[in-house]
Chains A and B, each alone.
Chain A
Amino acid sequence: MSSTRRQFLSAALVGLTPKTDRPIAGGFIDDGHLMGHKLRDRASFAPRKQTVKVPIVIVGGGIAGLSAAWRLHKRGFFDFVLLEMQELAGGNARWGENEISPYPWAAHYVPVPGKKATLVRELFEDLSVLRDGAWEERYLCFSPQERLYLHGRWQEGIEPLTEATTRDREEFARFAARMNEFRATGQFTIPMELGAKPSALDSLSMDDWLKHERFTSPYLSWYINYACRDDYGALARDTSAWAGIHYFASREPDEKGPLTWPEGNGWIARRLLEKLSRYVRTGNMVHRILREGRKLRVSSGQTDYIADCVIFAAPSFLAPYVCEDAPPVRFIYSPWLTANLTLDRLPAEHGFEMAWDNVIYDSPALGYVVATHQSLRTHIDRSVWTFYWSLADGSPSDNRRLLLEKDWNYWREAILRDLERAHPDIRQCVSRLDILRLGHAMARPVAGFLGAPDRVRLAKTSGNLLFANSDVSGFSIFEEAQYRGVKAAERALDGLDSRERWRRTNVLAATGR
């Protein structure tokens, strides 16, 4: 009692702190769009200086590419390279680090995988995240997991409950019941390929489905739009109802999670890179893949790799720019912006304690994640916040243009103004603000994506140019990237096997190579 009384007294009595805008350092982080645009514009690249023969080339060092490498290595196949355009691998699991904490640049968690997600569980056993059937407590997201700023206060959890009417609550309950029914059909699986069947739900948008089911609660609508923006970078009206439902009906965690780390999924990328660094060539953009008989010539910088098989794990839409053989890829990609804010003090708080994921109701952005949340310390007075913003409203190409046109000051102001609604003193706390612009952050599962011929063709490709990016599943989540990467690796090995190249590597493996 005395504590709350004192806290209240000080909160009530000490109101106005003098506002002086402090300088905030920062800038844009290199996002590789300049290199990407060189591909788009078919710029000329340096002539080749050397030619290397290697059975398998993996293009792209994100989770899909690293997972393919993880699988090859685990199967005892060591004769491959992974080519990554950026200086640091990781893709959407890239990360950064400063004197306060490591922090994520994009994907920052993996839901606790259910019993059926065998590949994800296998990976986590390898990384000692799962031991003897028990999850390492330090890698599960600490309490409190989520909070929402609504009506001037922070509330626990992100389902908006503050001042919710009976009707709102009924709709949330009815929605949950509908999702349970969908879960029971077994069609909404992770990986999606295992359960997905052609579905009428894919022909309408999530928004239309909600209307059809007579859901009218503005709170529920906000919540579902938030989920679609968060996972797909799209509003509910631009999301296939099948995908929208998949978000809610695919997971049944047996443990309170999710799994997370200060640097988000960068932690997984880091551990994989530690194991696989000898295969990884960073700063190596692939600018051409040419078919030469049964082989593929992969040009990257001044090196040409002559490969039996290429696993294309970079975003699939890039493939037609580098390979004339590649099938057309007409996916829609959502543009995103993420920012890392260095806070050398924490803002004043009203309401529920700071959580891992902090969301502001009715904000165009997605809120922020606290990098120091997984710290074991009890006293934390500095932090790094990762601010997420999927530019979902408007056309993706217009928003991509906006991303590139506006300068850092513009985005810094937009971010601080958004945070100021919940943290009036945020400008006094931030010393640095770096921004990453992701023009093609993730494939967007629009209505019709499930049966789209481009997607089905990529998922089925056999031969020696295999596609492994999560966009083959239609949406970008860790589990899909890992699944596509592993499957491509296995298909590549099968292909080599059939050509009896397999024996050679087994001999090498046996001789301790």
Chain B
Amino acid sequence: MPIVLFVSVALIAACGLIYELVAGTLASYLLGDSVFQFSTVIGSYLFAMGVGSYLSRFITRGLVARFVSIELMVGLVGGFSSAALFLAFAYTQGFRLILYAIVVAIGVLVGLEIPLLMRILKNRLEFRELVAHVLTFDYLGSLAASLLFPILLVPKLGMVRSALLFGIINAGVALWSTYLFKDQLGARGFLRISCAAVLVMLGAGMAGAERISQAADANLYADEVIFARDTRYQRIVLTKWKDDVRLFLSSHLQFSSRDEYRYHEALVHPGLAALPGARRVLVLGGGDGLAVREILKYPDVESVTLVDLDPEMTKLFSTHPYLATLNAHSLTNTRVHVINADAFPWLQQNTDSFDFAVVDFPDPTNYSLGKLYTTAFYRLLAKHLSAQGLAVVQSTSPLFARQSYWCIVETLKQAGLKTYPYHVYVPSFGEWGFVLAGMSPYEPPLRLPPGLRYLAASDVLPLFQFPHDMLPVDAEPNRLNDQVLVRYYEHDWREIEH
């Protein structure tokens, strides 16, 4: 009999610690600054336990029934704590308030458990034995929980399911207690029904954990999601707020329909307008067709080859009524050839040469994308440019990611190209940078095609001037075997976020 009791002591101790760890870990992940989060979570939790222990003196009758109800409440609050915190972070402004409310609530309830249990058991054991055993198993349970949490629970189950699992254990202990202490318990039927109800709720939570994840994810976008699809390569999400449509690829903002014309006019015209003889144009990346829309404003351009990895992306921007209107049906234009391929190997096996190349890849957030910003890639690109040809490279922000930007410039230089860096202000992005590169000298154009919304010919030259806070900084070139750019980029953006 006693050993069974002490196992339940160990179990509830484990549950208590798991909820504390869940709260601390979640707060660290979502808010950063893990030392602060863990300190304050542990501190308020322990304090709340003290409050609970003090409050236990006011419980005088029906100890077992109270104990069972407290177990059920801990199971319910603790079990759903993780899901509640995720959703609170995604949907509300008051994440911290809810975090500490949950921590304090669980702390008070857990603080009530052991004093009550000891009082329930006081007639069964000598006091000396009782204290020793209860506390021993309390600490053993904590040890088990603290080891299980990082090794098994987080990697195997995830945070939401881990908390729910221990909620089920709490409720299980409650149900079990109605049998263990049945001689000390009056009406058992209602308590057992409550236990079953709580178990069902937690079980349903387990089954629906996936849905909770999706609900939380959707709300990380500020606006209404009007389209979302997981393709083989990325997650495409379109959001809409009033007349502003935004495209996110794997959660990275690609454009806002309100100001994308600034980005795409600046991307295409400073280079292409300076090449009156340009006939053949290559676009790498840019499956939204917006750069192509600008290129098609040149009647002399005979063919545009667009190479984008994701067929779903080019299909979406060819067929979706709103998006096809936004890119002026550029992807279905007869002058445009859409190729769905990985750009580096495609360029490797292709032998065509182009007068103008637009390189509009996602930012170098990882080593895979970083390959597209290397000396090897730019050397290969240079081989595909005609003698007077130019390439323009999307090069992240010279203000927010200053060293990354100048690293891309340096990489192009190392690949043997002349470089002409410039930048533009796009409200939804901030200051954004491009680099024109080619084998021949570049002169800014004197005329631009008609019908531009942002750029006038006289505005082009000033784009090449950099104010003090964006001036060149030292950077190593980015090579396949030494991708400094990915490290610069990570470092630059980390600086901004803190």
Asked if B483 is at the interface (CB within 8 A of a chain A CB), the reply is: yes
Do A5 and B233 touch (CB < 8 A)? no
Of all chain B residues, which has the CB nearest A11?
A: B158
Most buried by A among B150, B369, B376: B376
B152 to chain A, nearest CB (A): 10
Mask, A1-43, CB within 8 Å of B = 1, is 1110110111111111000000000000000000000000000
Chain B's closest residue to A112 (CB) is B481
**Closest A residue to B32 using CB positions:** A1
How distant is the Cα of A16 from the Cα of B251 in the complex, in angstroms?
Answer: 24
Task: Assess whether A213 is interfacial by the CB under 8 Å rule.
Answer: no
In the complex the two chains form, is A350's CB within 8 Å of B342's CB? no
Question: Does any Cβ of B come within 8 Å of A380's Cβ?
Answer: yes
Given known A-B contacts A5-B30, A13-B86, A378 and B479 have beta carbons under 8 A apart: no
Chain A residues whose C-beta falls within 8 Å of the C-beta of B156 in the assembled complex:
15-16, 424
Q: Are B342 and A379 in contact (CB under 8 A)?
A: yes
Cβ-based interface call for A138 (8 A): yes
State in angstroms the CA–CA spacing of A236 and B232 once bound together.
46
A381 interface residue, CB < 8 Å from B? Answer: yes
**Of the residues A2, A5, A137, A424, contact of B155 by C-beta under 8 Å:** A424
Residues in A with CB closer than 8 Å to B216 are: 9, 13
Choose one: B161, B345, B375, B497; the contact of A15 (CB below 8 Å): B161
Q: Are A12 and B158 neighbours in the complex by a CB distance under 8 Å? A: yes
User: Is A142 among interface residues, defined by CB-CB distance under 8 A?
Assistant: yes
A396-439 residues at the B interface, CB under 8 angstroms: 424
**Bound complex: CA of A152 vs CA of B340, how far in Å?**
38
Query: In the complex, which residues of chain B have a beta carbon less than 8 angstroms from the beta carbon of A353?
Result: 366-368
| Contact B367 A144, beta carbon cutoff 8 Å | yes
- Return the contact of B371 from the options A3, A16, A376, A424 (Cβ within 8 A): A376
B374 nearest in chain A by CB position? A137
Cβ distance A130 to chain B, nearest Cβ, rounded Å: 14
Answer whether residue A141 sits at the interface, using C-beta atoms and an 8 A cutoff.
Answer: yes
Q: Are A377 and B86 in contact (CB under 8 A)?
A: no
Is A137 a contact partner of B481 (Cβ separation < 8 A)?
A: yes
The closest CB in chain A to the CB of B343 belongs to A378
Interface flags, A227-271, vs B, CB<8A=1, else 0: 000000000000000000000000000011100000000000000
Given the interface pairs A5-B220, A15-B161, A424-B155, the reply to whether A140 lies near B481 with Cβ below 8 Å is yes
- The reply to whether B210 and A13 form a contact with Cβ atoms under 8 Å apart is yes
Q: Mark B84-118, 1 if CB is under 8 A from A, else 0.
A: 00100000000000000000000000000000000
Is B480 an interface position by the 8 A CB rule?
yes
Residues of A within 8 A of B343 (CB): 378
Residues of B with C-beta under 8 A to A8: 29-30
B455 at interface by CB-CB < 8 Å: no
A257 touches B151 (CB 8 A): no
Number of residues in A with C-beta < 8 Å to the partner?
36
Asked if A277 CB lies within 8 Å of chain B CBs, one says no
Verify if B440 is at the interface (C-beta below 8 Å from A).
no
**Residue A363 CB within 8 A of the other chain:** no
Task: For the complex, give the distance between the alpha carbons of A271 and B127 in Å.
Answer: 82
Q: B251 to chain A: closest CB distance in Å? A: 4
Asked whether B210 lies within 8 Å of A14 as measured between CB atoms, the reply is yes
Q: How far is the CA of A310 from the CA of B497 in the complex (A)?
A: 68
Chain A residues with CB under 8 A of B302 = none
- Annotate B447-471 by CB proximity to A: 1 below 8 A, 0 otherwise: 0000000000000000000000000
Q: Is the interface of A mostly helix, strand, loop or mixed?
A: loop
Task: Say whether, besides A142-B367, A143-B481, A378 and B372 are in contact (CB < 8 Å).
Answer: yes
Tell whether, in the assembled complex, residue A143 and residue B486 are in contact, meaning their CB atoms are under 8 Å apart. yes
Picked from B151, B157, B160, B348, the residue with its CB within 8 Å of the CB of A152 is B151
- CB-CB under 8 A from B370, the residues of chain A are 143
In Å, the complex CA distance between A138 and B344 comes to 12
Contact with A along B18-39 (1 / 0, CB 8 A): 0000000010011000000000
Contact A9 B480 (CB under 8 A): no
Whether B251 lies near A2 (C-beta < 8 A) is yes
B232 x A13 contact (CB < 8 A): no
A13 touches B154 (CB 8 A): no
Q: Is the CB of A257 within 8 A of B481?
A: yes
- Please give, as numbers and ranges, the residues of chain A lying within 8 Å of B375 by CB-CB distance: 137
Residues 340-380 of B at the A interface (beta carbon under 8 Å):
342-345, 348, 365-372, 374-376
Q: Contact mask B407-446 → A, CB, 8 Å, 1/0?
A: 0000000000000000000000000000000000000000
Name the residue on A nearest B159 (C-beta): A12
Q: Whole-angstrom distance between the alpha carbons of A377 and B365 in the complex?
A: 15
> Complex Cα distance A5/B89, Å?
11
Instruction: Give the complex CA separation of A137 and B233 in angstroms.
Output: 26
B244 at the interface (CB under 8 A from A): no
Instruction: Give Cα A317 to B275, complex, Å.
Output: 69
Which chain B residue shows the least CB distance to A376?
Answer: B344
- Cα(A16)–Cα(B152), bound, Å: 11
Most B CB contacts (10 A, CB to CB) among A15, A137, A144, A424 go to A15
Which A113-159 residues have a C-beta within 8 angstroms of B? 137-138, 140-145, 152
Q: Which of B160, B212, B220, B482 interacts with A6 by CB under 8 Å?
A: B220
Complex CA gap A43/B58 in Å reads 93
The listed residue (B154, B251, B376, B486) touching A137 by CB distance below 8 A is B376
Smallest distance from the beta carbon of A371 to chain B beta carbons, Å? Answer: 16
Q: Are A14 and B158 in contact (CB under 8 A)?
A: yes
Cβ contacts under 8 Å, A142 to chain B: 367, 371, 480-481, 483
**A11–B486 Cα gap in the complex (Å)?**
22
B309 to A378, Cβ gap below 8 A?
yes
Q: How far is the CB of B177 from chain A (nearest CB, A)?
A: 28
Q: Which of B480-498 contact A (CB under 8 A)?
A: 480-483, 486, 497
- Kindly provide the distance from the CB of A425 to the nearest chain B CB, expressed in whole angstroms: 10
Instruction: Tell me the minimal C-beta distance from B31 to chain A in angstroms.
Output: 11
Q: Which of A9, A11, A16, A379 contacts B233 (CB 8 A)?
A: A379
Residues of B close to A9: CB separation below 8 A:
86, 213, 216-217, 220
| Chain A residues closer than 8 Å to B29, beta-carbon distance | 8, 12
* B250 part of interface (Cβ distance < 8 Å): yes
Which chain B residue shows the least CB distance to A350? B155
A257 to B480, CA, bound (A): 10
B252 contacts A by Cβ under 8 Å: yes
* Per-position binary interface string of chain B over residues 126-168, scored 1 when its CB falls under 8 Å from any chain A CB and 0 otherwise: 0000000000000000000000001100111111111000000
Say yes or no: A378 contacts B154, CB within 8 Å.
no
| B480 CB contacts on chain A under 8 angstroms | 137-138, 140, 142-143
Interface residue B209 (Cβ < 8 Å from any Cβ of A): yes
Write the nearest CB–CB distance from A223 to chain B, whole angstroms: 22
Residue of B nearest to A143 (CB): B483
Instruction: Let me know if A143 and B482 touch, CB within 8 A.
Output: yes
Q: Mark A355-385, 1 if CB is under 8 A from B, else 0.
A: 0000000000000000000011111110000
A13 near B212 with CB under 8 A, answer yes
B497 touches A1 (CB 8 A): yes
Are A3 and B365 in touch, CB under 8 angstroms? Answer: yes
* Residues of chain A lying within 8 A (CB to CB) of residue B369: 378
Quick one: given A5-B30, A9-B86, are A376 and B367 in contact (CB under 8 Å)? no
Once A3-B251, A143-B480 are accepted as A-B contacts, the answer to whether A381 and B368 lie under 8 Å apart by CB is: no
CB-CB contacts below 8 Å: A307-333 with B: none
Q: Which residues of A contact B252 (CB under 8 A)?
A: 2-3
Instruction: Report the separation of the CA atoms of residues A252 and B89 in the bound assembly, to the nearest whole angstrom.
Output: 51
A137 surroundings in chain B (CB, below 8 A): 374-376, 479-481
- Give A380 to B369 CA distance when docked, in angstroms: 11
A353 to B213, CA, bound (A): 24
Closest A residue by C-beta to B377: A376
Residue of A nearest to B153 (CB): A15
Check A376/B482 contact, CB under 8 A, given A13-B216, A15-B158, A152-B151: no
Contacts of B212 in A (CB 8 A): 13
Residue of B209, B250, B252, B481 with most chain A CB atoms under a 10 A cut-off: B481
Top 3 nearest A-B pairs by Cβ distance? A15-B158, A13-B213, A140-B481
Beyond A12-B86, A12-B158, 5 extra complex contacts between A and B, CB < 8 Å: A1-B497, A5-B30, A5-B251, A10-B213, A13-B216
Q: List 13 A-B contacts (CB under 8 A).
A: A5-B251, A9-B86, A13-B86, A13-B159, A13-B216, A16-B161, A142-B480, A144-B367, A152-B150, A379-B232, A379-B368, A380-B368, A381-B232
